[in-house]
Structure 1
C-alpha cells in the first residue's frame, strides 16, 4: 500500500506540473529577435509571395503598390518608411543610399534617382499594434524627362536601429541597351594564391547578369586553367563599375601567362579583354636578383682595378738624329749664266 500511495502522489505532481506549463503565457520575443517584417503585399487572389516590387511605366506616369508590415510581438512598433536609390558596391553587392540629406535622393551620377520618386504620403511613420499586419500604400511618380531603362531603388523600413530593405525593380518605357566592357585584366599573386582580377562596367541602361568565360595560355606548356565559364553571382546595375577576382589555384609556377576574358549577358551584351604577366617564384626571383647584383658589383670592381693599374703618361722623348736640330735647310740653287768655257 505505501508503494501504491507513493506512485499516486508522483503522478499527481507530474499532472500538476504539466498543467502549469500549459497554462503559462508565451515567452516574449528575445531582445535579439527582429519582431517585425516588411515585404510586398499580396492581393486577395494572389497565392505566391513576391520577393520584390516590379513596376513599369512610361515617363510621367504614377505607379502604385503596397508594403506589408507584420508585428509578431506583444509590443507596438513604430516603423519609419522611405525610398532609397540602389547601387553596386565595389565587389558587386547590392546596396542602398543612406538616409542623409542629399544622399537618399541622388544616384551615382548626382542626379535624383528612383528612390526620390517613391512617396508614402502621410504614412512615412506607421504604428503597428501587437500581433497585427498593416498594409501601407505608396506611389512612385516617374518624372516626364526620365530616361528609358532600369532605375534600381528600394523601400526601406526602419525601427529601433534595424533596417529592412525591399528591392524595387523599375523599368521606364523606351529603347533599352544591354552593353558592358571588361577592363584592367591582371594576374595577381602566385601559386595557389593566384587570382585573375578584372573590372566590369555596365555601359547600357538595363541591369545585367553577366556570364564569364576564361581562356588561359602559357609560353611553355598548357596551364591548368581557372573555371572555364559560369554565371557571376551579381546583378550589374546601369552605369555601375565593379572590381572582381577569379581564383586560379592551378596557375604555373614559372611561365609567362596570358588570360582572355569573355563576358556576355542577355540582350546581346559582349566584351573581351586580355592580360598577361610573368609568373616567377619568389625564391627564384630572389636568387636571380642577387646574381645580377653580384655580377654588376664584380664587373664594376674589375673595371676599377684595370684603371688603377694603367701607367700614367710621361713627357714625350726627344727625337734622335738630325731631326733634333730642326728641319734640314734646303740646298741653295745656283743660277748659271753666260757661255761655257
Structure 2
C-alpha cells in the first residue's frame, strides 16, 4: 500500500511545535510549544527550535517558482514527489490517537500564511493540527504534525476525512483514509429503480447505497426479460464510483434500443468485494399510441409481429439486404414504470 501508518498511544498530547527553515535561517511558529506525549511508533514529534529542525521533522529550502502545495510528508530527509503517498492512511482502535505530518511547500519568493483544518464533517472533526495557521517563508518546505483522535465509541470500518489548507487565494485538500479496526461489514443495496423513455431510447435510473462500514467499489449487471424473451443482457462491470460507508449515489444506465411493444421486467444486480450484494427490479410496459385501444389479444399479436419484423430487419442489416432500407421501428410509444423499487407512472 502506497502509504504508512503511525500511531500514538491513547491519550497522547498534540505536538504543537512546527520547525520551519528558510534560506535566511530558522523560523519558529509563534506561540507556546508544550512537549508532546509519548508515541508508540517512535520518538515524540519535535518541538520548535531556534537552531533549526530535527531529523524527524525536516524542513528544507526548495527551488523558487510556482504556487504553494500540500501533501503527505515523506519519510526521512526526502522531498515530496509524485511517487510519494497520494493520501494519508491511518488505522487504529477506538480511543487511539494517530499521528502523521503534512508537508507544506512554498517555492515562491514571498511568505504565505496558510489556514489548516480537518474536513469534511464526521471524521474530519477528529483531526487536530499543530496550529490553525502556519506561516511558510519563501522557498521553504515545512512539515506540520497533526493527530487524529478516534472516539472511544467510533464504529469499526472506514471513516473518510481530509486535511484542508487555505491561503493566498488557493485551497488544497489532502485525503485522509481512516480505518477503525474491528468487525468489518460489506453491505450494499440497490434502490429506486425506474425506466424512463428518451425519444426512441430509454434510461434506467437507480441508486446505490452503502449499508456497511467499509468503502466499496461496486460492480453492476443489468438484465431485462419481456413476454417474448430476453430484451437486455449487460454483464457485470466495475462502476466509476467509490462508496464510503453510508453514502447514497444516484446513477443511470443508458438503454439505446428498448423494445417498442412489450411488458418487460428490468433487474439490476450490484456486487462489491467482501460479499456485498444487492438487487432490485422494475417493470414497464412499452405500448405504441396507435395500439393503446386494442384488446389484450390484439396487443400480444401486434407485439409478436413487431418482434418478428425487428429480427428480419436486423438480419437484413447484417447481410446487406434491402431490408436495411425498411422503415425503422413502430410509431411513438410510452413507457409506464412500476414494480419493486420503482415509481409507478407513465412517461409519454
Q: Does TM, scored on the shorter chain, surpass 0.5?
A: yes
Partner of 1:114: helix, strand, or coil? Answer: helix
**Kept in 1: contact 2:101–2:145 (CA 8 A):** yes
Task: Identify the match of residue 273 of structure 1 among 270, 274, 280.
Answer: 280
Shift of 1:82: 0.3
For 2:188 and 2:230, how far apart are their aligned partners in 1?
Answer: 30
More strand by share: 2
Count of residue pairs brought into register by the alignment: 229
Shift of 1:217: 1.6
Per-residue deviation, residues 256-292 of structure 1 (Å, max 9, x unmatched) = 2221111111111111111111234xxx42x456999
**Kept in 1: contact 2:201–2:257 (CA 8 A):** no
TM-score calculated relative to the size of structure 2: 0.61
Larger Rg: 1
Residues 1:200 and 2:232 are matched in the alignment: no
**Kept in 1: contact 2:104–2:141 (CA 8 A):** yes
Q: What are the ranges of 5 or more consecutive residues in structure 1 without an aligned counterpart?
A: 1-27, 86-103, 105-112, 293-341
Q: 1:193 to 1:133 in 2, by over 3 A?
A: farther
More helix by share: 1
What is the root-mean-square deviation in Å for CA atoms of aligned residues? 2.4
**Kept in 2: contact 1:62–1:139 (CA 8 A):** yes
Task: Identify the match of residue 216 of structure 1 among 219, 224, 242.
Answer: 224
Q: Which moved more, 1:129-138 or 1:53-62?
A: 129-138
Partner of 1:115: helix, strand, or coil? Answer: helix
For 2:103 and 2:286, how far apart are their aligned partners in 1?
Answer: 56
Matches within 5 A, 1:319-338: none
Partner of 2:245: helix, strand, or coil? Answer: coil
Task: Name the structure 1 match of 2:85.
Answer: 50
Shift of 1:60: 1.1
Task: Identify the match of residue 244 of structure 1 among 251, 255, 266.
Answer: 251
**Kept in 1: contact 2:95–2:151 (CA 8 A):** yes
Partner of 2:110: helix, strand, or coil? Answer: coil
Shift of 1:75: 2.3
Per-residue deviation, residues 131-150 of structure 1 (Å, max 9, x unmatched) = 22111110111111212111
Matches within 5 A, 1:217-236: 217-225=225-233, 227-236=234-243
